[in-house]
Chain A
Amino acid sequence: MSKRKGKNILRLTASYITLIILAICAIYPALWIVLGSFRPGKSLYSKSLIPESFTLKHYGELFNSRVIMFPQWYMNTLKVAIFSMLLGVLLTMLTSYALSRFRFRGRQNALSVLLVLGMFPGFMSMIAIFLLLKEINLLDKHIALIMVYAAGAPLGLTLIAKGFFDTIPRSLDEAARIDGASNFRIFTSIILPLSRPILTYMALLQFTGPWVDFIFARLILRSKEKWTIAVGMWDMVASQQNSNFTVFAAGAVLIAVPITILFMFMQRLLVEGLTSGASKG
C-alpha cells in the first residue's frame, strides 16, 4: 500500500512541476512585454526581466507623438469595429436563420457554396477587391473596410451559427406559426432571445477582427491618419526595425489587455463556438 502511495506522490509532484513550467511559458511573454512597456529607454535589450526603474513615459508618448497617431488609430479602429460588427452579425444571422429553418430549392447547394468560398485564402481576392474599390472610389475610406469585413462575415460564421440554430427545437416555431406569427416575429421573439450565446460569440469575433487584421487594412487604408491600430503596430515593428521597442510594448499592452480580458471571460462560449460545427451528432 505504501509503495503505491509513494508512486502516487511522485506522479503528482512530477505533474505539478510540469504544470508550473508550462504556466511560466504561458505567462512569460505577456509579463515580458508588460514590464518592457514600463522600462526607461528605447531598446529591446534589457539586463533583467524586471526593470530597475519604472516609467509611464512610453504610454504618454503614444498619445502625444506626432509620428505615432495612436489616439487617431484607436478611434478609427473602434469605428470600423463597431459598424462591421453590427452589419456582419446581422448578415450572418439572416443567412444562417434562412439556411437552418427553411427547406428550399438549392439550399444544400448554398451550404456547399458557402463552405467552398470560405476556403479561398482571403487575400487571394485582395488585388481584385483593391481594384473594385478603386473603380467605385472607395479606396482609403473606412466604409470600404467595414463593407469588406461585414461581407466576409457570413462566409466564416454561417455554418457555426446554423449549427446553433439547428439545435433550437423547431416545434417552437411551429407552435408560434399556428398562433399566426409571421416569419419576422418568430425570428425576433423566439430565435433571437434563444441564440444569445452564438450572438455574443459572433459579435466578439467580428468586433475583435479589425483590431488584429492588418492585411486588408493595410491594403485599403493608404494614408497614415486613416490607419487602424493593427497597421500602425505592424508598421512599428516591421518598418521601423524596433528602433522604439518600448513604445511598441506600451501600444501592444493597450490593445491586448481589453481583448484578452474579453476572451478570458468568454472562453467557455468560444469553445462552444469552436466545436458546435463538429462535435454535434
Chain B
Amino acid sequence: MEMDRHRNNATILSILSMGLGQIYNKQYIKGLLFLLFEAFGIYYLIGNLGKALWGIFTLGDVPRTLVKGKWMEGDHSIFIMVQSLITLVFLIIFIFVYVQNIRDARSVAAERESGKQANTFMQTIRYVLDYKFPVALLSIPTLGILFFTVLPIIFMVMIAFTNYSAPKHIPPAMLVDWVGFDTFKNLLALKSWSRTFYGVLTWTIIWAILSTVTTYFGGMLVALLINQKGIRFKGVWRTILILPYAIPQLISLLVMRNMFNGEFGPINQYLEYFGLGRVPWMTHEIWAKATVILVNMWVGIPVSMLLIMGVLTTIPRDMYEAAEVDGASGYQKFKIVTLPMILFTTAPTLITQFAGNINNFNMIFLLTGGDPVKGDYQYAGATDLLVTWLYKLTLSQNKYNMASAVGIIIFVIIASFSIYNYRRTKSFKEEDMIQ
C-alpha cells in the first residue's frame, strides 16, 4: 500500500486540476505550464462551449426579421457551425492534454517510487528532443493540416447533411437546417439531379480511362521511337518533346483555348486553307470531348515519355542478348522484355495518373470551362467532370450541400483506388527492408 502512495496522490491531484500532480512531483515549471493551459482552456470553454453545443444541434433558430421597417439580423447558421466546430475541436484538444497530464503525473510518480529523481525542466526538454523528437517535429505540420485540411473537410462533410443551398437556405437572410441523407437521396434518385450526376460520372470515368491510356501509350511510343537504334541527336529530340511539360499548364491551356477558338483560332484557319471545313472544337458535344482528350495528350505525353525513357535505360542489356540468342525478332524482344519491364515499373504511376485524371480540374476548367452546355443537365456541360461540376455548384450556383455530396463521392472513388494501390506497392510494405 505504502508503495503506491506517490502514484495515487499524483494521479488524484492531476485529475483534480492539471499541473497539481506535476507540482506534487516537484516539477514546478511543467506544473505551472499545465495550470496556465488549464486556466486559459477553462476560460475559453466557459465562454464558448454552451453556445457551441446549442449551435451544433440547432444551427441557429432566429431568422432575420422585419421589425418596424428595419431588418433585425438573425442567426447566421454557417458562422455558427464554423464557430461551434472550432470550439469542439478545442474541447477535444483540451481533453487530450488533460489525459496526457494525468498519465504524465502518474508515470513520473511511479519513477519516484522506484527511487529515481524527477526530471528537471531542462532534462524534460532534453528528453523530448532525444526520444520524443518525431512527435515534436510532427506537431507543427499537424497543426497546419488540422486547421487547413481536416477542419475544412469535416465542415464540408457536415454541409452535405444540411440544406445549405440557394435559393431558399442562404444565410444571413435565412436559416440552415440538418436534413440527414436527403441531399444524397436527391442526388442519386431525384430525376433532375440524378440525370446530371450519372451523366457527369460516366463522362468522368470515360475521360479518366481515355486520358490515362492515350498519354501512357503515346508516351511509350514516343520513347521507343527516340530510343531506336540509329536515331541520332536523341537528347535534342527529347528536349524538344519535353517542352509542353515545362510550360506552366495555366498558360498553355489558356493558349490552347485560343488556338482552338472556332471563329478566329489558327487551327480552323489552317483547316480552311487546306480546303477542309471548320471544326466546332469547343462548341459541339462530341468534338469538345475529343478536343480535351487531344489537348491532354499534348500536355501528358511528355511526362510518360520521360518516365518510360528512364525505365528503358534501366533494362539490363543481357536480357536482350539472351533473347537474341534464342532468335527473337525485334517485335518479340519488345513483347517479351521491354513491355513487361515498363509495365512492371510504371504500374503504380499509371494508377496514380488515373486517379489524378479523375480530378483533373485544370484541364477542363481552363480549356472548355465544362462547355458546351447541356440543356437537360443541372448546371453542368458536356465536358464537365465531377470536380468542375462541384466547383460550379459551389462558386456560381451556391448549391453547397449538393457540392459537398459530390465531393464526398469523388473522395470515396479516389480513395479506394489510391489506398489499394499504395498498400500494394513495395515501398509501403517493405520499407524497412531497403536498408
Residues in chain A within 8 A of chain B (CB atoms): 8, 11-12, 15-16, 18-19, 22-23, 25-27, 29-30, 32-33, 43-46, 49, 91-92, 94-95, 97-99, 101-102, 104, 107, 110-112, 115-117, 119-121, 123-129, 131-132, 135, 147-148, 150-152, 154-155, 163, 166-167, 169-171, 182-184, 208, 211-215, 230, 233-234, 237-238, 242, 245, 248, 252, 255-256, 259-261, 263-264, 267, 270-271, 274-275, 277-281
Contacts and interface: CB of A to CB of B under 8 A. Distances in A.
Nearest to A100: B431
B407 A121 contact: yes
7 contacts: A12-B228, A26-B302, A119-B415, A119-B418, A135-B83, A270-B306, A280-B426
Interface in B151-191: 151-153, 155-156, 159
Contact of B404 (A124, A135, A252): A124
Given A148-B148, A242-B258, A260 B247 contact: yes
Interface in B198-237: 222, 225-226, 228, 230-231, 237
Contact of A275 (B153, B231, B243, B310): B310
A8 B228 CA distance: 11
Interface of B: 78-79, 82-83, 86, 129-130, 133-135, 137-138, 140-141, 144-145, 147-153, 155-156, 159, 222, 225-226, 228, 230-231, 237, 239-252, 254-259, 261, 264-266, 269, 298, 302-303, 306-307, 310-311, 345-346, 348-349, 352, 355, 359, 361, 366, 369, 387, 390-391, 394, 400, 403-404, 407, 410-411, 414-415, 418-419, 422, 425-428, 430-431, 434-435
Contacts of B145: 117, 151, 154-155
A97 B415 CA distance: 25
A117 B150 CA distance: 8
B255 A32 contact: yes
Contact of A22 (B222, B257, B258): B222
Contacts of A26: 240-241, 243-244, 298, 302
Contact of A19 (B149, B237, B261, B269): B237
B359 A255 contact: no
A19 B222 CA distance: 8
A15 B418 contact: no
A127 B394 contact: yes
Contacts, number: 276
Interface centre among B83, B134, B257 (most CB of A within 10 A): B134
B130 A233 contact: no
B255 A124 contact: no
Contact of A15 (B137, B228, B307, B394): B228
Given A117-B153, A131-B82, A151-B144, A94 B249 contact: no
A183 B242 contact: no
Nearest to A94: B137
Report whether over half of chain B's contact residues are helix, strand or loop; otherwise say mixed. helix
B255 A267 contact: no
B240 A27 contact: yes
Contact of B387 (A98, A121, A256): A121
- Per DSSP, chain A at the interface is helix
Contacts of B345: 278-279
Given A18-B225, A95-B137, A259-B247, 13 more contacts: A16-B231, A26-B302, A117-B153, A119-B355, A124-B390, A135-B86, A184-B129, A212-B249, A237-B254, A264-B242, A274-B307, A274-B349, A278-B427
A91 B144 contact: yes
A10 B348 CA distance: 37
Contact of B243 (A12, A104, A260): A260
Contacts of B231: 12, 15-16, 19
B246 A267 contact: yes
A18 to B, nearest CB: 6
B130 A255 contact: no
Contacts of A242: 258, 261
Contacts of B410: 121, 124
A136 B227 CA distance: 56
Contact of A127 (B133, B306, B400): B400
